[in-house]
Structure 1
């Protein structure tokens, strides 16, 4: 049976899109573009999506990995953003519980800090009210002793006065993007990665499509559509320039960096949202499995959009911030195992610092009809998509309303968020019966949700092949599934966006990278030059994940 999201069929999908007029062509395969594609196809629109890199390769795999309303938006009086994104958290959690889970967050109250006791209590209560938080997840105010009990690594001196305790939601941002896009594809959309919109196509002064270059074969395809949506994230303004419509407001890119430390070096029990010492910014420290990550920075960025890198200054800033708040377990540069850097495409606001600029999304409609959307937050992706498709269906005279608030995303059919634990337990037992360790079986069930059934089918029928490539059966089954049903075309697609191993399990990457490359080389019939290219690309990403680039930030 043909699989609608196989990397082996990319060229077929591009040709398919070029042979008919689409209702909607989405340019950009991050979370915003994925959400737009899902909303469009569920309202009966013939939908296509192209992404010039891998899906989620930009901002959508490089966030703080939280689906949250954001307390600082409350501080900036952005009540509408807090309310909308707070309510969206619950929707994302219910529709994709395997990639979104509640995370209790500790907000230490420190003398001279951003939030005092009264402000924290009132602020968190308002936050809970606006976000419509469930009764059992509403904020709690903690004494100094209770705060230290929640997180013993916190500074144990007279400056610590207590803490606020409230719920956010953690996510795997890349997999949330993938599951949204897979659901769109399963419902009839067509999506292809490594397909770049070189330029737009016009007739009578109106945009009617785009010329797409397959970056893997060099072939070009003219894809025509009634509506073209520019959801290219940090590249939105580049496409607006090609359209001749970059006027008025424009993007202001800021860079956010995160560092990862092993729990043996930094045994963090509790997610913490805390003040920095010097500039009063707020930073997260979040446990994730056997690791903990700290971030983020927020600096103006003007360099190469495709490859934002951590600098020495970025690393030192985050280490200093952590060591100010967590005084019992000092972090050094040598403790940093990996890192990631991402860009936020914000809407420029004159006279404001990077951290003060609103995260509101904004839509631009050019005279040619190009629809561009920029700004916004990961949490609000579904509502952003709804607003875009509302415009399109109104113009087309279509009466169908948005239904994505009640659509389970791919992998989300686990019986509801409250039954995820029992689903994972039952699935893990199946994995163990197929020869997996209990830990790996549980990991796969959490990673793929209800799609783990297909991964286990591959394991059962093809798992013996794993030894030919030096891969464990579980890794092999994941790789095959990634190629056939998640459009994995490059080793870095698999080792980063599909598994998060590059950031959170660098030993996994080092152990299995050669086997992954050998299997993919045979599956895709790569030439020696292509193999060398993929090796170089992967080694470069591994290097920059582990090492800061000693360059000075441009202003």
Structure 2
């Protein structure tokens, strides 16, 4: 079984210190993880390093959508939409059908005839592009036109005077952080060496001025290491300029950090059977149903504070509530909110940019040479990570790419192969372990065909089959797997990117800290002192994040968040 563990990490670092790699990827978000898989699956010796935890930046703080970008049709950006819809189809059908799920949305209409006509054309084109991109296959249902009564039946909480009817269309949703971790593990399956919390301090050059590797520090131990590589790919998102500046030269990319925030409310708060898509004056607002909660967002504002820990302000939260309440009859209040989070989009920056209009910046990605032997990639979005990865590796290889083409277009990620067969066993497996259909749906959507590995740990230790006392939607086995298989090195890694109570529970998982720490300690070999350090660190983070939400400006919110120090580095 392919695992990310402290032992694997140590072995990968030892290999990184002694070998010269064909490709070194800097950045462990969805783009970097996708690049690592693309390169490794081509047979290239590959190393991937990340300065924090896997997916700790933008890739764990998104809207959790796999979508074509319906709003980009308004800008006549057909190529971008078609590309994204093609990738959506691949993810749904072959690459990650266990992680990516088709999701219906309502687009409320406010004017008869004209609005319905042009909206129908737009959504119809969306459906056509999706069908073309999937080779004629229908990976999601096509649009459906609803009367006012039909729309209210699907989403009863909409104010009756907020629409005259609606169009129901489909996109898809994904747990963004889980996708990244699965990509890293799949890259590892194909031979990639992977290590999180390794920070680059210098880009090395040979006597020709070509990039030849990096100097880095292992943040867990403080030890320095040199990693040699024939090619370096910088996939560090909003840190793009910081990383490429280490190489000098005049090449590279400029990006704008644009903040998007989301709020989370309980699933039972809305009885709707579908999501909701709304256009705002600055961006779009999605109300997205998940199994146990709703995610509502997003905003789009320039961010000038520290990049590691963006946070929503009180004003951000009010903005999202206000726009949601424009169409909801039973208005949401702050008391309904059980979680919040903020992420930074790495938007490509043109030469002249009015930051008040960051939504005008293209979401298309660009690959650029920083110096010979080092390239940078930025822009794009989660949905098109695979295309970005293919383009980055092709660019880095140059003419050699013709003899080593990408093979990831239909390469299943771990948990995808055999998923349908395992899903057909859900009722039988549930009966064996005493899990209801809701529990099995939860487990299959997270682990796919690897659910058997998780159940095997319960066979070995039946206590792992019990739900967490403070968060019964998760099993103790899931916490164990986060540490024993999915690369969590610290308590916060579990809460933020694996058992995601940091953004899905009113207390950010505070009530589960003791139990989660106990399970993690057993898996990671922590002593009593280490357990107390981990618990204190995460509780300090909770306090800082909650304090940040009370601030009215980015600067004040950022300062409040930074009162809690990172556990390493």
Same fold (TM over 0.5): yes
Does 1:165 pair with 2:168?
yes
- For this pair of structures, how many residues does the alignment match? 544
Shift of 1:404: 0.5
The aligned residue for residue 319 of structure 1 is 321
User: Is the CA contact (8 Å cut-off) linking 2:23 and 2:232 kept in structure 1?
Assistant: yes
Alignment correspondent of 1:225: 229
The residue aligned with 1:177 is 180
Give the secondary-structure state (helix, strand or coil) at the position aligned to 2:286: strand
- 1:456 partnered with 2:459: no
Q: Give yes or no for contact 2:474–2:499 (8 Å, CA) kept in 1.
A: no
Aligned ranges 1:399-414 → 2 under 5 Å: 399-414=403-418
Kept in 2: contact 1:34–1:177 (CA 8 A): yes
Q: Is the 8 A contact 2:257 2:346 kept in 1?
A: yes
Contact map agreement 2:495 2:509 (CA 8 A) in 1 = yes
Q: Which runs of 5+ in 1 are unaligned?
A: none
- The change in CA–CA distance for 1:339 and 1:106 in structure 2 (over 3 A counts) is same
RMSD over aligned Cα atoms? 2.7
Q: CA deviation at 1:198?
A: 1.6
User: Which string of whole-angstrom CA distances, capped at 9 and with x for unpartnered residues, describes residues 27-77 of structure 1?
Assistant: 000110111111101111000100111111111111111100111111112
Q: Are the structure 2 counterparts of residues 152 and 397 from structure 1 closer, same or farther at C-alpha, using a change threshold of 3 Å?
A: closer
Q: Does the CA-based 8 Å contact 1:361-1:374 persist in structure 2? A: yes
2:8: which partner in 1?
A: 9
Distance change (3 Å), C-alpha of 1:15 and 1:248:
closer
Q: 5 Å matches for 1:58-69?
A: 58-69=57-68
**Distance between the aligned counterparts of 1:466 and 1:426, measured in 2?**
18
Out of 241, 245, 248, the position equivalent to 1:241 is: 245
Select 2:191's aligned residue among 183, 188, 192.
188
Runs of 5+ in structure 2 lacking a partner? 557-569
CA distance in 2, matches of 1:365, 1:348: 16
**Which shows bigger deviation, 388-397 or 355-364?**
388-397
* Cα distance change on mapping 1:272 and 1:465 into 2, 3 Å: closer
Alignment of 1:368-407 (within 5 A): 368-396=372-400, 399-407=403-411
Distance 2:250 2:531 in 1: 39
Instruction: Confirm or deny: 8 A CA contact 1:63 1:173 kept in the other structure.
Output: yes
Counterpart in the other structure of 2:518: 518
Residue 214 of structure 1 deviates from its aligned partner by 1.1
4+ runs deviating over 6 angstroms: 469-474
Find the aligned partners of 1:397 and 1:518 in 2 and give their Cα distance: 48
Q: For 2:405 and 2:69, how far apart are their aligned partners in 1?
A: 28
**Aligned counterpart in structure 1 of residue 278 of structure 2, from 264, 274, 280:** 274
**Range with greater deviation from structure 2 (372-381 or 516-525):** 516-525
Match of 2:564 in 1: none
Q: Which residue of 2 aligns with 1:333?
A: 334
CA contact (8 A) 1:109 1:117 kept: yes
Are the counterparts in 1 of residues 483 and 524 from structure 2 also a CA contact under 8 Å?
Answer: no
Contact 1:266 1:331 in 2 (8 A): no
In structure 1, the residue corresponding to 2:456 is in which secondary structure? helix
Q: CA deviation at 1:210?
A: 1.0
CA–CA distance in structure 2, aligned partners of residues 287 and 497 of structure 1: 19
TM-score norm. by structure 1 comes to 0.91
- Mapped partners of 2:68, 2:259: distance in 1: 20
